[in-house]
Structure formats: C-alpha cells, structure tokens
Amino acid sequence: MSDHHHFPEELQIEILKRLPVKSLLRFTAVSKSWYFIITSTAFISAHCRHHRNGNSAANLLLLRRYNKSYKVEKCSVLSHTDRQLLSLNNSHELSFPISRVIRYLRTVGFYNGVFCLSEDQCSDPHSVTLWNPSIRKLRTLPCPSIRPACQFRFVLGFGASPRSDDDLKVVRVVYERKGVNLDIGPVIPPLVEIYSLSTGVWRRITAPGVNYYIVDYIWPQAFVNGAVHWIGYKLLEDKSFQSLIAVFTMTDELFDEIMLPDELLSVDPSNLSVIVYEEFVAVVKYSRRIQGDSCELWIMKEYGVVDSWTKLPTIELVGGMKKLVGFRENGELLLSTKKSGLVSYCPDTRVVNDLGILGNNRSFYVHKYLGEFLVLLREQIPL
C-alpha cells in the first residue's frame, strides 16, 4: 500500500484530480500523505478546475424543490439530452441533510457543487447554509454582523472569485429605512458585508457610488463571468424609475451595473427576473409578476454589451404556466405552474408537457449539473 510514496507528489496530484469524488473519499483512508493531499485547499481547487473544464456531466440537470404536501425537500439529478420527457424514473436523489424545514429553504445559488440556502422566508431571517450533497457536508454561517435597529431589507448573492473558485463567498446587501416617512424609500448606498469560506467570518466593505436598489430577495440571482447579477432599479429626478442589472464582482468585490435594452428600461423591476441561459446573462420579462399571461426572454449574447441583447419569441403562459425556472439541452423550457407542478415547453411546437413533478411554486430551482466536487471537504461537521 506504500508504493504511491515512490511517485513524485506532483504526479500523484495529476492522477488523483482526475478521479471521482467517491473514490477520493475512500483514498483519504489509504495513507496520511494521500489524506493531506486530497483535503488540501490546493488539491480541492485543482480538482474543481479539472472537472469544471472537463464538463463531463453537462448532460445532467439538477432539480431542487419542496413538496408542501409531504413537507419534504427533494433534490434530484436527471438526464436531459434527448427529446424524451424529463422523468424522476431516470434520476437519482441527493440526500437532504436539514430536517427542520418549516416551509422551504430558498436556493440563493449553486456553484462548484455547493448550494447556498437561506431561511429568510421562514422563521430565522439570518440563517444561511452551504451544503455539498456530493460529500454530505454542510456549514451554517454565523449570524451577519449588520443587523440594523431600524427597518431594513436585504438581498444575498453567492459565488466565488475565478482566481480561487473553491473559496466560496456570500455577499449580503442591506438597505436601511430611517425616519418615520417610509415612503421616501430605503437609504443608499447600502450596507454590505461578505462571508468568505476561507476566513469563516463576515467582513464589512463599502459600496461607494451605488445609487440603485436591488429588487426584493424572492427573485433569483445569476452568477456569470465571476459576478453576481440581480435585477435593480434607479429612482430618477422626475420620480420615475429605470430598471437595470446590478452587478457585484467576486474578485474585486466591487459593484457595477449593466444597462437593459430600451424596451425593458421602464418595465416595473418586480416584473423582471434575471436567469442564466447556457453561459449567458438573461432576463425574463413577465406581463405581470402575479397571474401574468405571457413572458419574454432576453439574452445578452456578449457580456456587458447593450447592443447584444436579443429577444426570443414571446411565451404565452397557457395551461397554468407561471414562472420560468430553467432550460433543457434540447431547447425546451422548464416552468413552474399555478398548481405547484413542473412542465416542459417547446418554443418551436408550443407543446406543454406535464412532468408529474410536484413542488412549491417558488421552491423550484434548476441548474446544469457538472458533477461532484470536493468543496467543504475540510469541514469538520459530520452529518
């Protein structure tokens, strides 16, 4: 069992980083040297980069939802490359570790095999958890340091810097309301803090020049190009508003904004939602946030270039369709329904297929599944 000691460590790493997570977990028990290699920050980062670039599981789809009838969280990995309907019969379930769910945990984001989950729609407005289902490890983040005494609202973002994409970060943007006249709106610039997995603490940063608001937390984020993207808006001098995409870069920890196409600038920001389409930033425009009868999908084909926004054909929300939640490899769209189900919609034929998958309407979360990752392996919290 000691033959591996005769190989240079660099060669061992080149071999080990190509192996699946389950094998690596077993190999941590082979010897102390392999244990320290596999659990090292450098190896975990190298393993992440290799498997993200290899894209070996691009034909898989991650689906998370909360079944309110049985009060249980479900997380499935499904194949979605062919023209057949998505089916739970051809999936495998990921064991969900948190049993004390009151309604459901909101998915802030998913990156390098790790979920960022928030209980801010339930009992504790400050509880955030990172969960890696591949290695059955989780970390509950400490309470944020920014807890204003006045009324406030906040949004969360999740991702990592491309320079060290195993060092996950959660950014928390807090808008205070001061004074008795709440019609004036929240205070800008907001208060901002960042949690980094490498340090294990929340850290305050400044947000100079941020003169926009980020829309309520129930809408999702999109993590693309090393940055978190939210729907935001500015209040103009004539008391009107201008919608935009608010951006926070994880590497530089700076805020920025991306202009929307002219057709979306004056759209109520609560009727817009940001989403990842393939590797592009995209925006969904609903005719109404609640009980809308149609939606449009706009895709930014060249990052940061306003002229690259491209509109796809309007989707009529028939058959109880309510919210766009994801995409299949074959071009079909996945939408939640008013009856707490999931359907697939083909834009070419306009055929809607009920997938027989149930879940709370807001709990559906769909993401491309790139395989298993070792992030959080060094955590000492057993499940």
Using a pLDDT cut of 70, give the percent of the chain over it: 85
Give the model confidence (pLDDT) of 33-44 as tens digits: 888 888 888 888
Lowest-pLDDT choice from 2-11, 215-224, 233-242, 327-336: 2-11
With bands split at pLDDT 50, 70 and 90, how would you rate the model's confidence at 338? confident
Q: What beta strand segments (E) does 151-260 contain?
A: 151-160, 168-177, 191-196, 202-205, 213-214, 222-224, 227-235, 241-249, 254-258
Containing H/E element for 60?
strand 60-67
From residue 99, give the alpha-carbon distance in Å to each of 4, 73, 93, 172: 41, 8, 16, 25
Q: What is the pLDDT of residues 72-102, one digit of tens each?
A: 788 888 876 666 667 777 778 887 766 555 5
pLDDT number for residue 110: 92
CA dihedral 287→292→298→303, nearest 10 degrees, is 100
The pLDDT of residue 203: 95
Q: What is the DSSP letter of 308?
A: G
Whether the link from the prior residue into 162 is cis, omega within 30° of 0, is no
Domain limits of the chain?
3-38
